[in-house]
Each structure stands twice: as C-alpha cells, then as structure tokens.
Amino acid sequence: MSWLRVDGDGVVLTLHIQPGAKKTEIVGLHGEALKIRLAAPPVDGKANAALIAFIAKKVGAGRTAVALISGDTARAKRVRIAGIDEQSAREALSGVVFSG
C-alpha cells in the first residue's frame, strides 16, 4: 500500500497529521502515510481547514478540488484531490523530500 493511490479522475492521500506544530510542512513517511505537520491547532476544525488549504496550494488546485474523506477528528486522515494525476501529485507533495 502507498500513501497515494489513483481514484477516478484524481488521487487519494493517506496522511498522518501532527497539529499544533511550529510550522506547516511535509515531513516524510510515517509508516504507509505521508506525515504533515500543521501549525494550526486541532480546535474547531482549524487543523482540517489548514490541511485542505496547504494541500491545495502544494498541488496548485483550488480548495474545492481537495476534500477530507475520512479522519475528521483523528490524526490518520484520507484526503481526495480531484483533477490531478498520480505523477503530478507525487511531484508536488514528495519530489524534493523523498520518493515513495
């Protein structure tokens, strides 16, 4: 299993989120998930909103193309990005840091 899989006209990401960090950044792999640190606190959906905005910016998509599909209140989350191919998503999210 990979942290990224193709789903129709987009991809689904398996993520491990660390809210309340000093800065928002992609850290690398955490098991079979992509680990992301978020500066936003895990309060009132702020971390989820920050995650959606961060991923949308990283892949160059609109916020409406990025949707949280599971893990609303958990660190383990799944996010779908519509309208992007696997290669573009991998390059945008992991090309500089690591491969996988």
Q: What is the pLDDT of residues 6-24, one digit of tens each?
A: 999 999 999 999 999 999 9
pLDDT of 1 > 70? The answer is no
Is residue 24 within 8 Å of 5, Cβ to Cβ?
A: no
Residue 95 counted as domain residue: no
Is residue 77 within 8 Å of 47, Cβ to Cβ?
A: no
- Read off the pLDDT of residues 22-60 as tens digits, 9 standing for 90 and up: 999 999 999 999 999 999 999 999 999 999 999 999 999
- Select from 60, 65, 97 the least CA-distant residue to 79: 65
Residue 58 counted as domain residue: yes
Distance CA 87, CA 74 (A): 27
Residue 50 counted as domain residue: yes
| Residue range of the domain that includes 30 | 4-84
Residue 65 counted as domain residue: yes
- pTM higher than the cut 0.85: yes
CATH code (residue 79):
3.30.1200.10
